[in-house]
Amino acid sequence: MNGMVYLVGAGPGDYRLITLKGKQCLEKADVVICDYLADKRLLAFAPENIEYIYVGKKAGNHAMRQEDISQLIADKAKEGKCVVRLKGGDPFVFGRGGEEAEVLKQNGINFEIVPGVTSAIAAPAYAGIPVTNRKVAVSFAVITGHEDPTKGKSDINWEKLSTAVDTLVFLMGVGNLPHITGQLIKYGRSADTPAALVRWGTKAEQEVLITTVGKAAEDVIKHNLKPPAVFIVGNVVNLRSTIQWFDNKPLFGKNILITRAREQASRLTEKLEELGANCIEAPAIKIAPPDDDFTSLDSAIAKIREYDWIIFTSTNGVERFFARLNEKNLDVRALSRAKIAAIGTSTAAKLKNYGIIADKVPTMFKAEGILDVLKEDITPGTKVLIPRAQKAREALPQGLRRMGATVDVAETYCTKMADTNKAQIKNLLQNGRIDMVTFTSSSTVENLLKLIDNEAALLNNVKKAAIGPITAQTCKQKGLDVDIEADIYTIDGLVDKIKNFRG
């Protein structure tokens, strides 16, 4: 039985602009065949065990000939697999999706076309340039800037195109710009017509060059603007000064390294990207079972109804505690005797997911804060359970014992160094491609340094942002200056501090 092929438009650059159907196709893929302009973060939507094949093509560097790509797609489908051919932009807007579909038809392979957002409209939009406007432009055309070189002569009717359409959008035209602008001027387009080039449109590294038809080729050389870029011609370009929006964001153009565990990084990444940042997720840690194989936690669960207080110190602790509780065929009712305390609003919010409203949540999100709010509740003999990370500060259990409490510490998880691409991270730091690094725990500090072979000097010119004083203290102990320290020790607090940082 042959499989199924989906020719999916990946969108113009920002991975979040893929369509809902495109995402659904990736979720059931066995094979993903990806091109140069498709963001690899889209693979997060696909199963972990997919077969990934890169067939990218860019000027002067083709990973594979188009004929071979088309046949590869068909061959993989003949193996009975679900194949997603992931193409930048839209498959049928200079994406050669039609050629691939023809080969699939010839081979008797079932396929579907999943349209994508084309850069022809998205890149101008992110630059604040509408391709149409009732007062300025009532028509637009999308033209290849790189015709098939084997054709011998151009199929573009320059004489009619140059003045018949209000807005012209050329894709893949940077290398051919002198010819394009020369033809436009030759056939009647004024050299003074406003023009713009948008490089890496919709991405945090987007560049916009405002020029004119007559000066465009010269300005590209002057400003060293490289492909890929969209070339826009028409009076709509003037509207950028009024409706520019994307590159006005407070963190636009900033490259921020996210060291949080992979399963937790998305929320921080999402919030920073909303502010215009380009986030590079390089998890310095991964969450794993504790080294004692849950011995201390199982012991605590066996006598869970004896505790007067249970204190949760992190969202990870909450998740791992309840997962183990369920494995023991118990649920939240087992905690009915105990009162619950949470260090931090995020931990308290996570508890609500399990139907628990914390009795105590300190305003200071660390051990000293919880000790202060519990000082009237702890008496000699009070039994307290602290489900927490394997490696943690002893301030909380020690402080409770000084108050007379009997304290059990249950190890619910540990943090270990993640399997991150060390060479890639070191290369980005060595080449000054990282503006800021975020630390959300002491373990992210320690493990990032291990990841870069303890070459702390690589972080000298990088701004360091810490989620709170404990993490900041670890940075300083490791010889790292802290530029940003959150006042509220949560992801929202950290993001807010980064947003307002001027340095």
Token pair recorded at residue 294: 């849950």
Cis preceding linkage at 380, omega within 30: no
Token pair recorded at residue 232: 């826009």
Respond yes or no: is residue 35 known to be catalytic: yes
**Active-site residue, from 23, 57, 78, 499:** 57
With tokens 């493990």, the residue in question is 447
3-state secondary structure of 329: coil
**Active-site residue, from 35, 39, 166, 408:** 35
Measure the CA–CA gap between 206 and 194, rounded to whole angstroms. 19
Answer yes or no: are the C-beta atoms of 454 and 295 closer than 8 Å.
no
Q: Is residue 257 within a helix (H) or strand (E), and if so which, with residue range? A: strand 255-258
- What number of H helices and E strands is found in the chain? 18, 22
Q: How far is CA 338 from CA 32, 305, 333, in A?
A: 50, 7, 10
Respond yes or no: is residue 172 known to be catalytic: yes
Instruction: Tell me 391's DSSP state.
Output: S
**Active-site residue, from 172, 254, 350, 360:** 172
With tokens 């949080």, the residue in question is 260
Answer yes or no: are the C-beta atoms of 202 and 14 closer than 8 Å.
yes
Residue 252, CA atoms < 13 Å, CB-side half-sphere:
15
HEC string of 129-173 equals: CCCCECCCECCEEEEECCCCCCCCCCCCCHHHHHHHCCEEEEECC
The DSSP result for 331-367, as a single string, is -GGGGTTSEEEESSHHHHHHHHTTT---SB--SS-SH
Token pair recorded at residue 222: 């002057």
Query: Residues with catalytic annotation?
Result: 35, 57, 172
